[in-house]
Amino acid sequence: MYTLLSGLYKYMFQRDEYCVLILGLDNAGKTVKTFLEQTKTRFNKNYKGMSLSKITTTVGLNIGTIDVGKTRLMFWDLGGQEELQSLWDKYYAESHGVIYVIDSTDEERLSESKRAFEKMITSEALEGVPILVLANKQDVETCLSIPDIKTAFSDCINKIGKRDCLTQACSALTGKGVNEGIEWMVKCVVRNIHRPPRKKDIT
């Protein structure tokens, strides 16, 4: 009887919570935070959001949550400055997914972004964790295309391993691609049995 009541309580009053890291170079710091704001605005009905023009570079950690059905995603938006990248791996063991944001308009720093991405995916602490690569600023006419970015990151393909990985065109400014990316991430973290969710009371 206790087991039945316990299961009923969890079904009625608890939701599964998954922690998702949002990473990217410092030039994508504003972009990363803009993506987080777009996500909260689109998935949280009562969230009014900040003016995108007032969003500044992420220094340290920003946290945000959204609910998709009975699934809760908690986002940890980490600063992308070179001196802060050394802190990224401190969060890997607790994360269920990673969103890696690339500035599609900054071809000069694409190789730097690739090095940071490569270092991240080779961490044993992230083994099996789904990764969503967002090619951001696709609303800019001169941006790099998805094929361009995939070619630049082609050396990383064999290092991704046996995990879900998707490259998604996105514009955090207009919101294009945000819903598709989040919905894909939800499906991936829910079906990844190797990283069970945290149970949180519904509030």
30 is in an annotated binding site: yes
In the chain, the largest separation of any two C-alpha atoms, in whole Å, equals 63
Question: Residue 2 contacts by C-beta under 8 Å, 6 or more apart in sequence?
Answer: none
80 is in an annotated binding site: yes
Task: Give the length of the chain.
Answer: 203
25 is in an annotated binding site: yes
State the number of CA atoms in the 13 A half-sphere of 156 facing the CB: 22
Q: Is 49 left (phi over 0), alpha (psi -120 to 50) or beta?
A: left
Percent helix, strand, coil in the chain, to 5, is 45, 25, 30
85 an active-site residue?
Answer: no
Question: Residue 154 contacts by C-beta under 8 Å, 6 or more apart in sequence?
Answer: none
174 is in an annotated binding site: no
* CA distances in angstroms from 75 to 3, 78, 106, listed in the order given: 32, 9, 25
User: Pick the catalytic residue: 14, 81, 85, 168?
Assistant: 81
Nearest C-alpha neighbor of 61 from the set 43, 36, 42: 36
79 is in an annotated binding site: no
93 is in an annotated binding site: no
119 is in an annotated binding site: no
23, 100 Cβ separation under 8 angstroms: yes
- Residue ranges for the known binding site for GTP are 24-31, 80, 136-139
- Residue ranges for the known binding site for Mg(2+) are 31, 58
- Residue ranges for the known binding site are 24-31, 58, 80, 136-139
Catalytic residue annotation: 81
